[in-house]
């Protein structure tokens, strides 16, 4: 599979300020507040609020088809049916031997498209009009779309993490652990938009155009919230 990353992610940042703890008044009897006196802070109030950076990231990946199939039609014209059948059998045996010499089984599933083209050209050259080979049909093995969708999500998360890291470095902070990871959008499609018109004339497409038309694409958009930590100061040895 060939992987292709999309354009860089958009980054949105929000740094939550430190809490101001020094302006609380102590409440005395009668509901009056007495300035200058402060009641003890609870454990929840003494904790420093978490500072966060919010990042949105996207990614797009693609994968060409990994399988192809062709149909081989062998025919023969003779005066007698038995002779025609015998001629077809000889040609089938020849085709089978040619395939086996290439290390392929009789029931063919091509994973190397170059080898597929070479074999088809070889059979047409040797057997002339007695053999007809269909146009190759390209497809993906089961689970390919799900694997591609998962890879798109992982790439989007990695892009978002890198951007958040750069933002923190820019403002002199340290990127902490992720607090929230959410995949907001996913989509997958086959071929390119400009291939829609040419796909209607699939018989006139070249092998490379057919591969491009059968290529699947997956896109993912994620939203991540990271914890932000202050820069750690290095202690000097006294």
Tens-place pLDDT, residues 124-168: 777 777 777 778 888 898 888 899 999 999 999 999 999 999 999
Q: What ranges do the domains of the chain cover?
A: 67-139
Tens-place pLDDT, residues 8-67: 545 455 554 444 444 444 444 444 444 444 555 555 555 667 789 999 999 999 999 988
DSSP string, 95-146: HHHHHHHTT--SS--BS-HHHHHHHHHHHHHHHGGGEEEPPPEEE--TTHHH
Q: CA–CA separation, 163 vs 154, rounded Å?
A: 14
Q: In a 10 Å sphere around its CB, with 0-12 CB exposed, 13-18 middle and 19+ buried, how is residue 151 labelled? A: middle
Tens-place pLDDT, residues 170-216: 999 999 999 999 999 999 998 864 554 555 555 678 888 888 889 99
């Amino acid at each position: 599979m060939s992987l292709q990353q999309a354009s860089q992610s958009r980054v949105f940042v929000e740094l939550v300020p430190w809490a101001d703890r020094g302006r609380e008044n102590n409440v005395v009897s009668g509901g009056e507040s007495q300035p200058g006196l402060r009641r003890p802070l609870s454990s929840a109030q003494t904790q420093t609020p978490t500072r966060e950076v919010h990042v949105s990231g996207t990614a797009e990946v693609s994968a060409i088809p990994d399988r192809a199939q062709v149909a081989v039609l062998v025919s023969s014209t003779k005066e007698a049916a038995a002779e025609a059948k015998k001629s077809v059998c000889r040609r089938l045996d020849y085709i089978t031997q040619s395939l086996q010499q290439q290390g392929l089984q009789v029931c063919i599933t091509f994973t190397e498209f170059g080898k597929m083209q070479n074999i088809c050209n070889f059979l047409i050259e040797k057997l002339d009009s007695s053999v007809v080979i269909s146009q190759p049909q390209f497809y993906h093995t089961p689970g390919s779309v799900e694997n591609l969708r998962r890879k798109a999500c992982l790439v989007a998360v990695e892009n978002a993490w890198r951007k958040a890291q750069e933002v923190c470095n820019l403002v002199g902070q340290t990127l902490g652990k992720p607090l929230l990871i959410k995949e907001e959008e996913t989509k997958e499609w086959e071929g390119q938009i400009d291939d829609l018109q040419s796909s209607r004339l699939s018989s006139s497409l070249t092998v490379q155009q057919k591969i491009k038309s059968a290529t699947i694409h997956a896109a993912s958009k994620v939203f991540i919230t990271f914890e932000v930590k202050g820069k750690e100061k290095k202690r000097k040895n006294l």
